[in-house]
Chains A and B, each alone.
Chain A
Amino acid sequence: GQQVMQIPQYQHVQEGEDFTTYCNSSTTLSNIQWYKQRPGGHPVFLIQLVKSGEVKKQKRLTFQFGEAKKNSSLHITATQTTDVGTYFCAGYHGSSNTGKLIFGQGTTLQVKP
């Protein structure tokens, strides 16, 4: 079936280091969304990418959508302790009424102060 694979599962970094999580789909995506879940919290929408090769930035966060629309990445520059949490990508497959949003397993980021 349709899957969205996300790596790595866990990442521990020293505060100030960079962090990247990658998302891969077995099929072409219509769009991809990224969410952040703080420990004990709920997923919160960060951004949506729609166009092939699209790059969007939110302060220290850079989101990319692959040219083939099968992969995406989230890069955080100079991590801070406030970046701690689990980052999920969610890919939307299909353009018809049968399309579906599939969440990756998430990457949990720990930041050492």
Chain B
Amino acid sequence: DAGVIQSPRHEVTEMGQEVTLRCKPISGHNSLFWYRQTMMRGLELLIYFNNNVPIDDSGMPEDRFSAKMPNASFSTLKIQPSEPRDSAVYFCASSHGTRAYSNQPQHFGDGTRLSIL
């Protein structure tokens, strides 16, 4: 079975550029999560969706960050404009869930390692 698929795996870009991260959740999962991981702050939940609807975006750092889920099999996380402090590993995860927030195990993708110069 295919797991959560993220692209790109690595991204290096200059500050000020727009960055778009992509995620394909596991088929049949209806909850999707975006996380950011750094040494200093650990694993932070940025936003999660249930049935393609954003439920909680309180973890999104600021207006430069936006996330969309146009359908059940695709989500994007966009940073515009990017800054060096956005450098981190960004993970997408998905899970089953019959409620607005799923307490079922989360399946993580391989992550996108983002470096902003």
A residues sitting closer than 8 Å to B (CB atoms) are 30-31, 33, 41-45, 48, 88, 92, 96-101, 103, 105-106
Contact = CB atoms under 8 A, between A and B. Distances in A.
A42 B108 contact: yes
Contacts of B110: 41-42
B103 interface: yes
Q: How large is the interface on B (under 10, 10 to 19, 20 to 34, 35 or more residues)?
A: 10 to 19
A68 B75 CA distance: 38
B10 to A, nearest CB: 12
Contacts of A101: 45, 101, 103, 106
Contact of A43 (B43, B45, B56): B43
A98 to B, nearest CB: 7
Contacts of A96: 99
Contacts of A43: 43, 91, 93, 106, 108
A103 B103 contact: no
B42 A105 contact: yes
Contacts of B100: 97-98
Contacts of A100: 45, 56, 101
Nearest to A91: B103
A41 B113 CA distance: 11
Nearest to B43: A103
A103 B42 contact: yes
A98 B105 contact: no
A8 B91 CA distance: 24
B109 interface: yes
B106 A45 contact: yes
8 contacts: A42-B111, A43-B43, A43-B91, A98-B101, A99-B99, A101-B45, A101-B103, A106-B43
A44 B101 CA distance: 19
